[in-house]
Amino acid sequence: MRLEQLQAFLAVAETGSFQQAALKCKVTQSTISRQIQALETDLGLLLLHRATQAKLTLAGERFLLRARRIWQEWQSAVQEIEDLRAGKQPELCIAAIHSVCAYYLPPVLQQFCQDYPEVQLRVTSLGSDRALKVLKDGLVDLAIVMNNRFLATTPEMVVDQLYNEPIEILMAANHPLTQYQTVPWAELVRYGQVVFKDGYGMQRLVQEQFQRQGAVLNAVLELNTLDAFRGIVRQGELIALLPKGAILDIHIDPSLAIRSTEDPTLIRQVVLVTTQDRLQIPPIQRFRELVHDLLMPHKDWLDHPDSPLFSTSLQKV
């Protein structure tokens, strides 16, 4: 069965005339006749009585209800695709790592909501590995994550490099390591670590660095929120290796301190990931543009956390 056959049958059933059906479908009467005959051949029964006025047979009456439903479903499907192409989608789902959600995304989200007020924007803060999984499962449209060797680079994936940031040491303000401006790795590995939970790219990055140093990571505690890291670290001698973007405002907390490591300095790269087909949808394409236009200039927060730009953004979060 073909859609034009279904359309021809519905037109004849509605008008009671092959001639009127042809006018309605904007084809010739002979075309309508051929389509109806082909449909009847496929079904194995006559659907119409050929007389002065075309009337439904018993099979035609039974088929009519189903045919209308099929045609309505097709029309709805076509309309949904047209709406998608026009940017009329009900929601846009984003997954992003915690520091991006906290400090970098607010101006992007604000501008997107102004550009597409009818699109429900949903943002979920996730670790990189989990964010990539929900992207691959089709549960989100874009992911902003830490780049790593496990990131699949299949042809349909689009990966935009956004920025690089150093990994620094978070510690209590009275911690013994505060005596160093840059902490030697030999001293750092002596202290227990607070780390991100398994499945977070940061934990893997830290573990690999300890292995390169020939040391064993003493992971005393696993957490998954930045506030929890700060609360635990300020209590004693536990330390945490965190990306600079996650601890930009530590300078305003007198109970905490940050130090950089001696070479080699750990660096993480943050990327935006989506798929080629999603970028054909206007709201998704626009969100990606806004990330590049509004998030990228804010990379200087990593070097100037006390800048007015950073302070203004904190007020928006």
Residues of the chain with CATH 1.10.10.10: 3-85
CATH: 3.30.450.20, 3.40.50.300, 3.40.190.10, 3.10.440.10. Which one for 91-161+275-316? 3.40.190.10
Distance separating alpha carbons of residues 68 and 204, to the nearest angstrom? 56
* pTM summary value: 0.71
Residue 89 has phi, psi (to 5 degrees) of -105, 150
Name residues of the chain where pLDDT drops below 50: 301, 303-317
The β-bridge partners of 221 are: 194
Distance separating alpha carbons of residues 35 and 37, to the nearest angstrom? 5
- Fold of the domain spanning 3-85: Arc Repressor Mutant, subunit A (1.10.10)
pLDDT of residue 78: 79
How many Å separate Cα 89 from the centre of its chain?
A: 14
Q: pLDDT tens across 237-293, in order?
A: 999 999 988 888 888 899 999 999 998 889 999 999 999 989 988 999 999 999 999
Structure tokens at 142: 């874009």
Residues of the chain with CATH 3.40.190.10: 91-161+275-316
Residues of the chain with CATH 3.40.190.290: 164-267
> How many Cα neighbours within 13 Å face the side chain of 148?
19
The β-bridge partners of 35 are: none
131 burial via Cβ count (<10 Å: 0-12, 13-18, 19+)? buried
Q: With beta carbons less than 8 A apart as the criterion, state whether 268 and 167 touch.
A: yes
Strand 267-275 with 157-172, pairing = antiparallel
Specify the CATH architecture of the domain 164-267.
3-Layer(aba) Sandwich (3.40)
Specify the amino acid at residue 11: A
pLDDT of residue 313: 36
pLDDT of residue 155: 80
Q: pLDDT tens across 20-50, in order?
A: 888 988 899 899 889 889 988 888 888 888 8
pLDDT of residue 151: 67
pLDDT of residue 304: 46
